[in-house]
Amino acid sequence: MDSITHLFYGGAIAAAIAPRAHRRAALLAGMALNTLPDLDVLPLALCDDPVVRLTWHRAATHSWLVLPLIAWALWAGFRRRGGRVAEAPARWFWVIFVTLMSHPLLDAFTVYGTQLFWPLPMRPLMWSSLFIIDPLFLLPWLAAFVVAWFARERVGRHALAAGIAMGVGYLGWSLVAKHLVDRQADRALAAMGLGDAPRFSVPMPLNTLLWRVVAMTPNGYVEGFRSVVADRQPMAFRGYPSNSQALAEARDIAAVRELAWFNHGFMRTRIVDGELVLSDLRMGTEPDYFFSYAVAQRGGDGWQAIAPPRKLDPHRDFGPMWRATWHRIWNQP
């Protein structure tokens, strides 16, 4: 999720667990703790390989096998220093532990994916029921945080409970909406002879009412959209080509292997000006994607790696994109 959501999400969780007398301190501590896993972007910024920066984010610092050790170390260090943690060590251990562990759990609900069990050789988990920025998901955490900061003890306690309940409820709704869309997509893809095709569904930006579904085909992929509000007819898909032959020829190049592992094979392959360009189909829409990389160029009888790979910037105008999304939520195509 975005950094702002993590701030208020973490603060509300920490304050709900901490002793009542420590509420404001817990709100601030929760903000810091829930931001901590994303600090992996700082050392990654020193790397000149954009594929490494993409695939190593949400790895070690987001691992449920690593974060318990970090939580214990932080708790032990602050307990030795005295202060609030020493006054209520049990409560503050759970504040630190739960707030840290909840960060990657929330991230796993986005399509980017999270290496929740790093260093085990597993692909990133991507439940993809939330867009990375969702104002309606942020709102209950923000409201709970603000009320808990300013209100008296009893009102603040109720605000935290209500905010957490609404936030978790919104997560539940996102899974229900995803199930409804997946069910319609399964029927339409089966009718097209793609019943067993690898696929994913993801909400469009800033909402959980309009969804995008992509399924892979032998020579490309198909893309379809579904509004849980407006659509009643069978789901429709449009097909797009992808150069599967070039992808197979370049499969031994390190960046190709890393990207295919990271995006679960959901990528578009093109040859542009003699270069092999791979795009992550999960983030963006036709024809522009947020993560596209030139990874190889023609050399002799095959492909030669571009070292380091080159990230290509998407050409997107977010204003028209959001207006089109808003219109499509309420209208059938």
pLDDT-derived band of residue 80, with 50, 70 and 90 as boundaries? very high
Strands ordered across the beta sheet of 302-312: 267-272, 275-280, 292-299, 302-312
Residues comprising the chain, all counted = 333
**Which residues, 6 or more positions from 121, have their beta carbon under 8 angstroms from its beta carbon?**
none
pLDDT in tens, 38-55: 999 999 999 999 999 999
Q: What is the mean pLDDT of residues 29-42?
A: 97
pLDDT-derived band of residue 317, with 50, 70 and 90 as boundaries? confident
Contact 330/229 with Cβ under 8 angstroms?
Answer: yes
Distance, in Å, from the CA atom of 55 to the CA atom of 311, rounded to the nearest integer, reads: 13
Residue 319 has pLDDT above 80, yes or no: no
Neighbours of 285 (CB within 10 A): 18
Distance, in Å, from the CA atom of 281 to the CA atom of 268, rounded to the nearest integer, reads: 6
pLDDT in tens, 270-296: 999 999 999 999 999 988 899 999 999
Whole-number Cα distances in Å, 141 to 4, 22, 119, 168, 188: 10, 19, 31, 10, 37
Q: What is the pTM of this model?
A: 0.94
- Determine what percent of the chain falls in helix, strand and coil, rounding each to the nearest 5: 50, 20, 30
pLDDT-derived band of residue 106, with 50, 70 and 90 as boundaries? very high
Residue whose tokens read 């409820």: 169
Q: How far apart are the first and last CA of the chain?
A: 29
Q: What is the mean pLDDT of residues 115-131?
A: 96
Residue 110 has pLDDT above 80, yes or no: yes
For 192, the 3-state DSSP assignment is coil
Residue 316 has pLDDT above 80, yes or no: no
Distance, in Å, from the CA atom of 324 to the CA atom of 131, rounded to the nearest integer, reads: 16
